[in-house]
Structure 1
Amino acid sequence: MPNVLYIDACGGASGDMLAGALLDLGWPLDELRALAAAMGLADTRLEAKVVEHNHLRALRLEVDCAEKQPHRHLRHVLEHLDRLPADVAEAAGRVFRRLAEAEARVHGIEVERVHFHEVGAVDAIIDVTAFCAGLAWLGWPRLVCSPLPLGQGFVDCAHGRLPLPAPAVLNLLGGVPVRPWPAEEETVTPTGAALLSTLAHQFGPLPAMRLEAVGVGGGSRQGQCGPNIARLLTGQEDDGVLRDELVEIVCHIDDMQPEDIPLAIARLMSAGALDAAAAPLQMKKGRPGWRFIVLARPEQAEELAALVLEQTTTLGVRLRRMGRMILPRRVIEVQSPWGQARIKVSSTSQGPRLHPEADDVAAIAQRTGLAPAKVRQELTALAAAQL
């Protein structure tokens, strides 16, 4: 399985292009047909259509159905997605929730009132499902995406004639690197923008990797200034270190009760923060205070920043997007004399690193009276023998 997938959006990005590129990598179309049936999308014909752009061969997912672009709310889309495998449903649900939030901001309404028009039709649901299910087929590699080319001009849609890039696309691509496209045409669709801004771990140049395979997806139009294609490159990153992006949310607090700090940290962790911490700080006029730090996935940054404003006494927060390097890790279970226990296993260039879960060590130590260090030593030895 590849551990990295690079999306070269050289000619733009749309749902049918990205799905077509996965099919070109070898993902079986029959798997997608089975998922469409599971979602209850009857009378839908799916084909991997060969298209040509500037004499380059590509595949495009073609969806043909009897349905004529119905209006759906987010809850209706999620009802279809809930019938998918759990990991695919979760990823696709995040894409549509992000899309609904962008549409809500554009129209100045609540998310629950958003009517999906083009992006709520069967073909958009299939495109999002296809991309998420194709990533699952690849083993959920780390996703790195090139800067996105944005054309200008106008596009006709259910809301009438709108400027390009489409308003929802601009809302979705906040913080994402983009570049100009020298033609008046739509290069990045709302579906493509939602998929990439939600699921990509990082945007930037091609990472160092051993190239294994390339899939080429093509769009429905012929590009004026270049081929309307997106290329997916799969491979293995050489250093064994995973990379992604996160957002650091920081504020300084000098008027909050110390006993309330752990409660705020717990609330943020339960809301999806990657980490949350507080450190003592000497502030202006010699006042003692706290430096409050939260690490968030980019798509959750605004939500968690709002939660910091709600759960602490700060009047403002600072947000900074940054790269992160992490070791690959997994959790295994060992059968110990005191019952099952979880061990976190991280991979380094010098071999595995083992760390028993602190909650399990504490529970065993409390139950048996053994010193935590002794329990940790025994669990580590059992895990090493199991690997």
Structure 2
Amino acid sequence: MLLYLDCFMGISGDMMLGLLLDLGVNEEKFFHLLNTLPLEFSLDIKTVQKNGISGKKVSVLYPEQHQHRHLNDIYEIIEKSSLPSEVKDKSKYAFKLLAEAEAKIHGTTIAKVHFHEVGAIDAIVDICGSILGVYLLKVDTVIASPLPLSRGFVNSAHGPIPLPAPATLELLTGIPVTPAPVEGELVTPTGATLYRVLVNKTEPVPPSGSILKTGYGAGSRDYLYPNLLRGILFAETPVKAKTVVLLETNMDHLFPEALGYIFNRLLLEGALDVFITPIQMKKNRPGVILSVLCPETDEDRFVEIIFSETGTLGIRRRRIERYEAEREIIKLNTRYGLIPVKIGRFRGRVISVHPEFEVCQKAAQEFKVSFKEVYEEALAVWQEKFNS
């Protein structure tokens, strides 16, 4: 299942909760699991209209409190619940992101951060409930539109602050944004955190596919435009294989240095893959098969390169299909400098994490440590940053 979040008026925790309930989350399971949080609260759920469009408005009701929680207090609340382990892990990660943002803004550490608004019961319920709702809907991938960059001022526990709120702005690092259509807090710290935790990819328009259902979560304020978060549920589209061309030739006349040069040139020219296989040729001579995988559109160019560089007299070709994972390079700040890490995803799920070999090798030489130490440090930073 794929969920597209149309954030034309931003995102907040209560809007996300309302949207998920409007999309048809199993309410019996939802309320049973959410109520295992060791907190005193209830949910007030109403159907409201914004500019003539109906949506669900969720308010978290709880006794007045003046408690400022630390990160470990919130971890303890989450762990004491009966939420699924995946929901617990993502919820704790969400509050860790919030703690990091607050710590940076206030010049302290995440352990010493006193949560104010984001440590209140409604924020805990909004975050845990939203992550639980996505889990119960069996959503594999979440794609979302860019977020509107709020403008104006808002009151906080420290007095009036500019919008986006500093913690929100910190959480929006790396997320595409657009100008806000109105003045006001369209993206809350809780909303920005949920975006960071749940969204696999940002796209300005919904994907192609078969629409199963749409839903709307309503915000508290009224603006010129409907203050709604829209969600579109798609059936997961079948993965399509891409057609590529495999070019191959048998050779027994080139010396190793020439083979190495040709191998590197083909990759630099944009070949999808190049590999060499040892074979025995006629008269029992040792030889190799040079195999080149390339896009169909580049076939003629690679045929010409192979003929001119190798002097071979024939090239075989086959059209084949292959499935491709999504790839992304991120740079992680480690003890050994910035290390690029290649992330592989399939349907939004991470399937591989590989620090770049050449950069790890250079760092190992520069810091006079083993390659293994640099490689494992990069993996550890990834684990801490994205999976803790």
TM-score higher than 0.5 here? Answer: yes
Q: Give 1:42-61 correspondences, 5 Å limit.
A: 42=40, 44-61=41-58
CA contact (8 A) 1:201 1:245 kept: no
The sequence identity of aligned pairs, in percent, is 36
Deviation digits for residues 101-151 of structure 1, max 9, x if unmatched? 001111111111111111111111111011110111122421111000122
Deviation digits for residues 167-214 of structure 1, max 9, x if unmatched? 011100001000111322110000000110122111113222221111
Q: Give 1:223-242 correspondences, 5 Å limit.
A: 223=223, 225-240=224-239
Q: Give 1:98-117 correspondences, 5 Å limit.
A: 98-117=97-116
The amino acid across from 2:207 in the alignment is: P
Deviation digits for residues 335-366 of structure 1, max 9, x if unmatched? xxxxxxxxxxxxxxxxxxxxxxxxxxxxxxxx
- Please, which moves more after superposition, 86-95 or 21-30? 21-30
- Given the superposition, is the C-alpha separation of residues 27 and 245 from structure 1 closer, same or farther in structure 2, using an over 3 Å criterion? farther
Q: Does 1:136 align with 2:135?
A: yes
CA contact (8 A) 2:30 2:136 kept: no
CA displacement at 1:266 relative to structure 2: 2.9
Q: Secondary structure at the match of 1:268?
A: helix
Deviation digits for residues 282-310 of structure 1, max 9, x if unmatched? xxxxxxxxxxxxxxx9x549x9xxxxxxx
Structure 2 distance, partners of 1:69, 1:81, is 20
Q: Secondary structure at the match of 1:112?
A: coil
CA contact (8 A) 1:215 1:232 kept: yes
CA displacement at 1:233 relative to structure 2: 1.0
Q: Secondary structure at the match of 2:210?
A: strand
CA displacement at 1:228 relative to structure 2: 0.7
RMSD: 2.4
CA contact (8 A) 1:69 1:120 kept: no
Name the structure 1 match of 2:25.
27
- Given the superposition, is the C-alpha separation of residues 194 and 63 from structure 1 closer, same or farther in structure 2, using an over 3 Å criterion? same
The amino acid across from 2:143 in the alignment is: V
CA contact (8 A) 1:155 1:186 kept: yes
CA displacement at 1:89 relative to structure 2: 0.3
Q: Give 1:88-99 correspondences, 5 Å limit.
A: 88-99=87-98
Of residues 15, 18, 27, the one that matches 1:17 is 15
Name the structure 1 match of 2:167.
168
Name the structure 1 match of 2:70.
73
CA displacement at 1:71 relative to structure 2: 1.0
CA displacement at 1:88 relative to structure 2: 0.7
Structure 1 distance, partners of 2:369, 2:231, is 50
Name the structure 1 match of 2:6.
8
CA displacement at 1:232 relative to structure 2: 1.2
CA contact (8 A) 1:208 1:237 kept: no
Q: Secondary structure at the match of 2:220?
A: coil
CA displacement at 1:35 relative to structure 2: 2.8
Structure 1 distance, partners of 2:144, 2:66, is 30
CA contact (8 A) 2:26 2:136 kept: no
Name the structure 2 match of 1:262.
372
Structure 2 distance, partners of 1:117, 1:32, is 26
Q: Does 1:209 align with 2:319?
A: no
Structure 1 distance, partners of 2:377, 2:168, is 31
Structure 2 distance, partners of 1:21, 1:154, is 26
Structure 1 distance, partners of 2:381, 2:157, is 35
CA displacement at 1:268 relative to structure 2: 3.1
CA displacement at 1:263 relative to structure 2: 2.8
CA contact (8 A) 1:67 1:122 kept: no
Deviation digits for residues 11-51 of structure 1, max 9, x if unmatched? 11000000100000111334343234311112x12132212
CA contact (8 A) 1:147 1:203 kept: yes
Q: Secondary structure at the match of 2:373?
A: helix
The amino acid across from 1:91 in the alignment is: K
The amino acid across from 2:107 in the alignment is: G
Structure 2 distance, partners of 1:260, 1:231, is 50
CA displacement at 1:258 relative to structure 2: 8.4
Of residues 330, 334, 337, the one that matches 1:247 is 330
Structure 2 distance, partners of 1:237, 1:245, is 21
State the aligned residue count: 274
CA displacement at 1:165 relative to structure 2: 0.7
TM-score, normalised with respect to structure 2:
0.66
The amino acid across from 1:266 in the alignment is: E
Q: Secondary structure at the match of 1:129?
A: helix
Structure 2 distance, partners of 1:215, 1:172, is 26
Q: Secondary structure at the match of 1:209?
A: coil
Could you tell me which runs of 5 or more consecutive residues in structure 2 were left unpaired when the two chains were aligned: 241-324, 332-338, 341-358
- Given the superposition, is the C-alpha separation of residues 157 and 167 from structure 1 closer, same or farther in structure 2, using an over 3 Å criterion? same
Structure 1 distance, partners of 2:29, 2:328, is 31
Structure 2 distance, partners of 1:149, 1:256, is 43
- Given the superposition, is the C-alpha separation of residues 199 and 161 from structure 1 closer, same or farther in structure 2, using an over 3 Å criterion? same
TM-score, normalised with respect to structure 1:
0.66
User: Greater CA radius of gyration, 1 or 2?
Assistant: 2
Structure 2 distance, partners of 1:161, 1:267, is 41
CA contact (8 A) 2:57 2:217 kept: yes
